[in-house]
Structure 1
Amino acid sequence: MPVSVQSFVLHGIEPGPCEIEVDTTGTDQWPPPKPVVVGLPDAAVKESVERVVSAIGNSGYTLNPDKVLISLAPADVKKVGPRYDLPMAIGLLHRQQVIRTDRHGGLLFAGELALDGRIRPISGVINMALLARRAGAAGVVVPRENAAEASAVQGVAVYAADTLREIVDFLNADAELAPVASAELAPLLRNATAAVDFADVRGQEGAKRALLIAAAGSHNALMLGPQGTGKTLMAKALPGLLPPLCPDEALEVTRIYSSIGQVPRDAPLIESRPVRTPHHTASPAAVIGGGSTPRPGEVSLAHHGVLFLDELPEFPRAVLETLRQPLEDAVVTIARAAGSVSFPARFMLLAALNPTPKGSQSGDAAGKKAQEKYLAKLSGPLVDRIDIHVEVPPVPHAVLMGRTAGTTTAQMRERVVAARTLQSARNGGPLHPNASLSHRRLDELATPDAAGRQLLAQAMAELGLSARAYDKVRRVARTIADLEAAEVVGLPHIAEAVQYRVLDRV
């Protein structure tokens, strides 16, 4: 009878079951035919058979010269990477009765084998552990270097080993593998590390205020101003304002990074909000995700963090337009002939741009025309999806040379955390900041008072704001009110929020 061993397959970051079936039949052919792998394996999986046979031999086990057939199910899903080395070896050893028990039943296996039998780390382990918990499996068997990552999933027994022989001895009950203790996530989570403190930024109090609001409500923001005014400096300081990831957010972020093998080996999960800063020469696939086997792009790697795009108009139009879906839906869907894959992409966009390609702007007609031409590279639908537009003017020399101490990042973060705490209690948890409020919830939570409604109606008429921009203004106004611990959105909150529609006035 064929032997069945359980593993997993990834669809984006969503794990699915993968059953490895191993069958052998006697043959008079010498040398025996090479093992055959079926079930839509990629080149790496096909090549792994030779590695598996060598690892088994170098671990001290002798295989019979049989014909070997290995089937990976479901057969219509492509199998990629070396994660199937270990389950194929377990199935082959059990089929030839080197493994004498059925102890592997109920366990999920994954790992790459070295030629000498060592087990190397793989990608996607945290997703495998989530699948095991969902399926009620007895546990997972993973490489030692992936143990911390797997332990981030509560309620799953994690068995880690360095070599194939350790696992065979464990399955034969000749030795025990102690389950890895589950990690306590909350104490690990911390604020993102910022390279700059806001106290180091001279002047620009208006821009600092705008970024404070953006951080408090997780709003997308855009800074417009000539070169040398501190836009990039403030962008580097912004991550320090954001609160730590909550455990659910940390798991989501870690699942994305795990799918491409970028989780630190000594930590169970990504501990702080990611900050991604792609260059303006990045391709659409690099930014949005893609490839023959779809991989997450920068927008997904910035999930629950910050995506900073410096010199926004210098990005290719194709790249900028791909941002529209994730900015609206917080998800990226990559379609291929074989099907579509979705990656989460709920990020805070921070963009910076100069008014003209030269970086500065003259006040004459030619300067205004150059600015209009440069800003025309940004489509209306894209600009509409950015909540806050703020001008960053040149800093006077007297301010640059002054020694007045500015507000520190820590002081600003206290206000952000207080506002986020209000939102979490009101909106249904930390995964729902004001920027994600639906139109219906906005009607419930951000309908301004009479004076505020009158001003908002006037702004809609004079600026020609779209329905989307109307909701953006209300979301920002709600956040401004939260920073003041105000229950009702009033005229001052609407007035300030309307000021942050700079590009609607250009």
Structure 2
Amino acid sequence: MFASVLSAAIFGMEVREIQVEADVSDGLPSFTMVGFPSAQVREAQERVRTAFKNNRLSLPPKRVTVNFAPADMKKEGAGFDLPVAAAVLAAAEILEPKLLEQVMVVGEISLNGEIHGVSGILPRVIRARELGLRFCIIPQENIQEGKLIRDMRVFGVKTLKDMIRCLQAPEKYENESRREPETEERMEEGGADFADVCGQEGARRAAEIAVSGFHNILFIGPPGSGKTMLARRLPTIMPRLTFEESLEITKVYSVAGLLTEKDPLIRKRPFRSPHHTSSAQALAGGGRIPGPGEITLAHRGVLFLDEMPEFSRKSLEILRQPLEDKEIHLSRAAGTYTFPASFMLAAAMNPCPCGFYPDMNRCRCSHGEITHYLGKISQPLLERIDICTEVPAIRFTEMKKKKRGESSMSIRRRVERTQEIQRERYKNEEFSFNGELDGRSVEKYCVMTSEAETLLEQAYTQFQFSTRAYHKILKVARTAADMENSEKIRQDHICEALTYRVYDKKYWS
């Protein structure tokens, strides 16, 4: 007898439906799997057959054939165990085949019939909702993740027998195992705060502008001046995530297998800080079938590169394309995979190997050493960083001040007001922030006064900025103007934006 059930596979961030078909027919007893299964999927036959035996579900001594359609895609992972079991049970007439219609099944089975969780449940449930299926059956370990999609019926099962009961009487099973997910807001306001930063008013202002316009930022300064401290507090002044943004980030972390069972919803903006020994594959996403890398895991949040020149040149150059396109494309033999990459880049570095240049009283580096150190960062990558600000050493008098700095909560309110101005301005565009403006949009929205235009022309000629640097200056100035609710970019806004570019001439000239 023939039976089939729907499952799904994850390819990058894309969900593809897989029809798991089973046929039990006369012939020598065997269990055959076809449809381009990987070694992991082939092992399902032993897990399923042993789980049947340990749960007193006896299959007839016949020929069992399982097919995964379409057959031109290689099937990976252990998430096909449960749909294979369901299809075989229906084909063996232990279950009615019609019970599997319009149902998605995902899960891994142990030898004793227990169901274990798998990664990537959230995007599968979202796909099931798009297809208009009746309900999904997933492992109980993943039920909180699956329940995030409120308008889709999702059942969690702990054992093989639970799955059978759920398929036979879904309404009864739902009443017996009803359990609402925890959805209360848990936005932690404690911990890191900008009020902890001593002095550094210039760097604090640069950080606020960067977050307000979603600009990339580079902190340059001697060791111990507070560069990392500033960067780690950037998420605390970003606006809170909307539920849609939380779901978008949670989907990425679900595919990466980084969600917790108790509270899977990501409620805080990501802050990813990979070590400088991280490979290019760790940043971009690696593997024969790529998964999310650090660039994608920082989506809607901050990717922080501490000691930026210590990263390999190959790793740094990978950032160039996603910084422009807000997504990253990885090509493999099996196809091309696209991952979201709308992140804010924050980086920190010393001005030289010892960290004290241009203070020649303390710096002991030769000119060649400084040139080699700074040369690790290419000019094209620097031009993709909107704001480059210096973080000087803190004076003793500033450290002894009892007065705390402005809190993250207070700064966040200004950031939210500035971003609301941008959203209203760009409501008919595909972007929402000044940092995302392209060349055409810069000319349209970055309107200057005559004095500001004259100043920018002089700076452009004197410093020999590239066209990309010219656009970056205008975008930063547009954000500074928005913070003052100014319709046009004035001369003082251009001046401030230029101060965030002269350092790349100071250090890289």
TM-score (norm. length: structure 1): 0.94
Query: For each residue in 1:160-211, what CA deviation from the matched residue of structure 2 results, as whole angstroms up to 9, or x when unmatched?
Result: 22222122123223972328788797x64747x6743222211111001100
Partner of 1:271: 267
Partner of 1:149: 145
> Structure 1's 305 and 174: CA in aligned 2 closer, same or farther, altered over 3 A?
closer
The alpha carbon displacement at 1:432 in A equals 2.1
Secondary structure of the 1:16 match is strand
Q: How many Å separate the matches in 1 of 2:324 and 2:179?
A: 40
Query: For each residue in 1:358-395, what CA deviation from the matched residue of structure 2 results, as whole angstroms up to 9, or x when unmatched?
Result: 22225459655543331111101110111100011111
Q: How many Å separate the matches in 2 of 1:489 and 1:181?
A: 55
Matches within 5 A, 1:307-326: 307-326=303-322
Secondary structure of the 1:82 match is coil
Q: Kindly provide the amino acid, as one letter, of the partner of residue 295 in structure 2.
A: V
Is 1:357 matched with 2:381? no
Partner of 2:448: 448
Q: How many Å separate the matches in 2 of 1:183 and 1:251?
A: 15
Q: How many Å separate the matches in 1 of 2:18 and 2:170?
A: 28
> Structure 1's 461 and 182: CA in aligned 2 closer, same or farther, altered over 3 A?
farther
- The equivalent position to 2:197 in structure 1, one of 201, 206, 216, is 201
Matches within 5 A, 1:391-410: 391-410=390-409
**8 Å Cα contact 2:4-2:100 kept in structure 1:** no
Matches within 5 A, 1:105-504: 105-173=101-169, 176-178=172-174, 188=185, 190=187, 195-364=191-360, 369-428=368-427, 432-501=432-501, 502-504=503-505
Q: Kindly provide the amino acid, as one letter, of the partner of residue 503 in structure 1.
A: D
Q: How many Å separate the matches in 2 of 1:237 and 1:107?
A: 45
Secondary structure of the 2:388 match is strand
The alpha carbon displacement at 1:232 in A equals 1.2
Q: Kindly provide the amino acid, as one letter, of the partner of residue 483 in structure 1.
A: M
Report which stretch shifted further, 154-163 or 70-79: 154-163
> Structure 1's 458 and 177: CA in aligned 2 closer, same or farther, altered over 3 A?
farther
Is 1:87 matched with 2:86? no
Q: How many Å separate the matches in 2 of 1:195 and 1:380?
A: 36
**8 Å Cα contact 2:307-2:347 kept in structure 1:** yes
Partner of 2:9: 9
**8 Å Cα contact 1:194-1:239 kept in structure 2:** no
**8 Å Cα contact 1:109-1:141 kept in structure 2:** yes
Q: How many Å separate the matches in 1 of 2:413 and 2:504?
A: 30
Is 1:72 matched with 2:68? yes
Structure 1 moving runs of 4+ over 4 Å: 179-185, 362-369
Secondary structure of the 1:91 match is helix
Secondary structure of the 2:79 match is helix
Structure 2 stretches of 5 or more lacking a match? none
Q: Kindly provide the amino acid, as one letter, of the partner of residue 417 in structure 1.
A: E
The alpha carbon displacement at 1:404 in A equals 2.8
> Structure 1's 39 and 272: CA in aligned 2 closer, same or farther, altered over 3 A?
same
Partner of 1:27: 27
The alpha carbon displacement at 1:438 in A equals 2.7
Q: How many Å separate the matches in 2 of 1:237 and 1:158?
A: 38
Report which stretch shifted further, 305-314 or 433-442: 433-442
The alpha carbon displacement at 1:450 in A equals 1.4
Secondary structure of the 2:305 match is strand
Partner of 2:53: 57
Secondary structure of the 1:156 match is coil
TM-score (norm. length: structure 2): 0.93
Secondary structure of the 2:403 match is coil
Secondary structure of the 2:100 match is coil
Query: For each residue in 1:400-433, what CA deviation from the matched residue of structure 2 results, as whole angstroms up to 9, or x when unmatched?
Result: 2222321112211111111122222222399722
Q: Kindly provide the amino acid, as one letter, of the partner of residue 271 in structure 2.
A: V
Structure 1 stretches of 5 or more lacking a match? none
RMSD between aligned residues: 2.2
The alpha carbon displacement at 1:100 in A equals 2.4
> Structure 1's 433 and 182: CA in aligned 2 closer, same or farther, altered over 3 A?
farther
The alpha carbon displacement at 1:221 in A equals 0.3
Q: How many Å separate the matches in 1 of 2:113 and 2:431?
A: 43
Q: How many Å separate the matches in 1 of 2:243 and 2:179?
A: 17
Report which stretch shifted further, 427-436 or 13-22: 427-436
Report which stretch shifted further, 427-436 or 355-364: 427-436
Secondary structure of the 1:294 match is coil
**8 Å Cα contact 1:225-1:354 kept in structure 2:** yes
Q: How many Å separate the matches in 2 of 1:242 and 1:183?
A: 27
> Structure 1's 205 and 296: CA in aligned 2 closer, same or farther, altered over 3 A?
same
**8 Å Cα contact 2:187-2:267 kept in structure 1:** yes
Report which stretch shifted further, 69-78 or 423-432: 423-432
Secondary structure of the 2:353 match is coil
Secondary structure of the 1:290 match is coil
The alpha carbon displacement at 1:341 in A equals 1.0
Q: How many Å separate the matches in 2 of 1:147 and 1:431?
A: 34
The alpha carbon displacement at 1:326 in A equals 0.9
The alpha carbon displacement at 1:38 in A equals 1.6
The alpha carbon displacement at 1:316 in A equals 0.6
Q: How many Å separate the matches in 1 of 2:383 and 2:229?
A: 25
